[in-house]
Structure 1
Amino acid sequence: MTAIMITPLSRRPELAGRLWDMEDSWPEFAAQDPLGSFLYPRMVAEFPDYVWVATDGDAVVARGFSVPFALHAGERAGRLPAHGWDRVLLWAFSDQRLGIRPDTVGAIEISIATGRQGEGLSGRMLAAMREGARAAGFAELVAPVRPSGKPAEPDAPMAEYAYRTREDGLPYDPWLRVHVRAGAVIDSVAPLSMTIGGTLAQWREWTGLPFDTAGPVRVPGALAPVHCEPERDFAVYVEPNVWVRHRLDGAEAGR
């Protein structure tokens, strides 16, 4: 049996073209976020120290994306934004362009290959991302978490679901539980973390659903209902996420 190797992409640049080779569990509509479509290639090209890849022999079995940005600069003042996922990506590339020194790492995605879930890879990828940020001198890693159990309860308010706990006090949600066990604390809800709009024909193609009735449409894999307006030939999905903060004690150098 081969050992799983987890490294930043900067150490294995030959894997850049294979990051999307692995089959994952993301629903098709989630890949239609226009900001992500534009900036994912730039993360690979411009932030390879913050892109993580796990291999088992020759197979890519997990990938992770993160970006450095300035959370504590100016008007941001350490407050995590309501427009979570999208806003962190915008801040990271805006800060880079303006020469603003980053002070925080934002986790963007950790994905595990289909058939490899349940092996603890998500926790190992998170640990690698945390350690990479700590070794680079950052004192904090933050993540707009997409709770893995939330698609089963699309109508549950995220503000309630995010803080739901088990009898042992740990989060009810499995992915939030991984973060908290790793040392994170739940900070807040990002109600406008990602926005995906499209024509009804596009949503039918992405989901296989009819999208012919006005109002909320429950889509497999969505954390909240999609709002459908047939008279305008339009539907929009606004995804809520959960902000978590990881303090990284013992950073090697101040940022």
Structure 2
Amino acid sequence: MDRLTVTTLAERPELVGALWDMPDSWPDFLLQDPLNSACLGRVPEVFGDHVLVATDDDEHGAVVGRAFSVPFRLADPKHDGELPARGWDAMLLRAFADHGHGEAPDTVGALEVSVRPDRQGHGLSGLLLAALRENARGRGFAELVAPVRPVLKHLEPWTPMSEYAVRTRAEDGLPSDPWLRVHVRAGAVVEKVAPASMTVSGSLAEWRAWTGLPFERSGEVVVPGALTPVRCDREQGVAVYVEPNVWVRHRL
């Protein structure tokens, strides 16, 4: 591992531009989730203490990784204290709603861990996850939760997430998926599937622009990078993608 420094954005606000400019591996269509467009950009401003930035001392402080998290109230009677079926979307909405209403958060939720593509495969994602855990613990939280996007699920779009999420390796009983495995090794428990964690809808013209695919026929379309097929309605001229994630719970 090279010489890396991980700080909160609140400690290094001058890095906000470099944080957004860092290349990542997210599929273009996933960025069209309306909550992503409306809320994620405000996370550094509102929750800067929960945004982490990894810089490489050997690259003159270049940003090579980032991690977004938000504090929110999980033990809320309005929501039964359950991890929501709408996963990522619901967690982001709750964080901003709780903040706006002055509700005291009791949980930290991890939204994203991203590593610059040329630095992937060297353990930086695990380092950032460990830093998220430590940051939440240091701020007095007892729990970090995450609606995890399994890194290899896109290779099996027809496999139900309920089946994929519980698949383990024979040699050690750890999750088969590498990103789920990193979480479990860090101390997380795989809790349940979030069946509608993110939703992206758009016209067929928009989907063609996002993916380069023709979307010529009604039915399910396998899109590179998607965890499940996209549902195309040629007659209505729309397509909808509903992404399942996997809830994991870290006791701190």
TM-score (norm. length: structure 2): 0.97
CA distance in 1, matches of 2:209, 2:20: 21
Q: Which residue of 1 aligns with 2:126?
A: 123
Q: Which residue of 2 aligns with 1:32?
A: 32
CA distance in 1, matches of 2:137, 2:242: 32
Give the direction of change, closer, same or farther, for the CA distance of 1:2–1:165 in structure 2 (3 Å limit): closer
**3-state SS in 2 of match to 1:100:** coil
User: Which structure 2 residue ranges, 5 or more long, are not aligned?
Assistant: none
Say whether 1:74 aligns with 2:111. Answer: no
Q: Which residue of 1 aligns with 2:62?
A: 59
Regions of 4+ moved over 4 Å: none
Q: Which residue of 1 aligns with 2:188?
A: 184
Q: CA deviation at 1:2?
A: 5.9
Matches within 5 A, 1:19-168: 19-56=19-56, 57-167=60-170, 168=172
Match 1:196 to one of 193, 196, 200: 200
Q: Per-residue CA shift, 1:98-130, capped at 9, x if unaligned?
A: 111000000000011011111100000000000
**3-state SS in 1 of match to 2:16:** helix
CA distance in 2, matches of 1:62, 1:2: 13
CA distance in 2, matches of 1:196, 1:245: 26
Between 15-24 and 212-221, the greater mean CA deviation after superposition: 15-24
User: Which structure 1 residue ranges, 5 or more long, are not aligned?
Assistant: 249-255
Q: CA deviation at 1:33?
A: 0.7
Percent of aligned positions that are identical: 63
Q: Which residue of 2 aligns with 1:253?
A: none
Q: Which residue of 1 aligns with 2:236?
A: 232
TM-score (norm. length: structure 1): 0.95
Between 68-77 and 90-99, the greater mean CA deviation after superposition: 68-77
Aligned pairs, how many? Answer: 248
Q: CA deviation at 1:157?
A: 0.2
Q: CA deviation at 1:24?
A: 1.2
